[in-house]
Amino acid sequence: MKILKSTLALALLAAVVLSCGSNGKTVETSDAKAVKANAEATAIPVATTESIVTWIGSKPAGKHNGTIGITEGNVLVDGNKVVGGTFTIDINSLTVVDLPADSEWNAKLKGHLLNADFFDAANHPTATFEITEVSPFAQAELTADKAEFESEFTPASLSEVMVENPTHFVSGNLTMRGTTKNITFPASVSIENGQVKAVANFNIDRTDWKLMYGDEASVADKAKDEFIYNTVNVGFELKAGTGAAL
């Protein structure tokens, strides 16, 4: 029995080391970067009713998903290239879509996500994303998938969730809960007839923005499956300009 326990402990430790080691991140994340000025760029307003952010949070026993609204923003275009943009995300508009909208559990989960354990919406009611660079997509430049602790609800990897046929890497300063980090992710971006359309799906490590509740760092919690994965899936569909919907 002691040998079995030791073997299980070593296996668990190995899984923890892999999840925290040098196998890559959910997306490339770094300190905030300067925004490049472009006097020639044209600002195209975001169609907020046709743009949305999605999220998926996971734990070994299950997962939840929902949306968050974009309240304002613009995309900066120079010729046929996106060169910048700023977007405001209304944290209080967060919804949970996998539970009945009028259920007690939906209200409890939403309330918990908005309180100080997670987004602290009372003090940080909005998040922002400001584009710092848009470059052509190159498969060879993708960050390696992050190794995750295995469970029934292990978060999908970046290579599994990213959009098909991405055209660009988008980099930008994401500010949540008073913390700003620059992230780079693959996206499908197009400009046609005065419209900009962008779609992306990627993962972030929530603890980079101090969303620490249920942090999976504890080996003991992993052994008991009592944690929330630090990896959160984020997706968005964005339209700027007028004309046909996404």
Confidence (pLDDT) at 222: 77
The mean-pLDDT minimum among 12-21, 86-95, 130-139 falls in 12-21
Does a structural domain hold residue 246?
no
159 in the Ramachandran plot: left (φ > 0), alpha (ψ -120 to 50) or beta? alpha
**Whole-number Å distance between alpha carbons of 60 and 79:** 47
Does a structural domain hold residue 71?
yes
Collect all residues with Cβ–Cβ distance below 8 Å to 111 and sequence separation of at least 6.
none
For residue 173, the domain's CATH number is: 2.40.128.110
Query: Mind listing the pLDDT tens digit for each residue in 180-208?
Result: 999 999 999 999 988 999 999 999 999 99
Domain count, the chain: 1
Does a structural domain hold residue 245?
no
Query: Mind listing the pLDDT tens digit for each residue in 91-100?
Result: 999 999 999 9
**Range of the structural domain that residue 56 is part of:** 2-240
Average pLDDT, the chain: 87
11 or 72, higher pLDDT: 72
Q: What is the DSSP string of 39-94?
A: TT-EEEEB-GGG-EEEEEEEETTEEEEEEEEEEEEEEEEETTEEEEEEEEEEEEEE
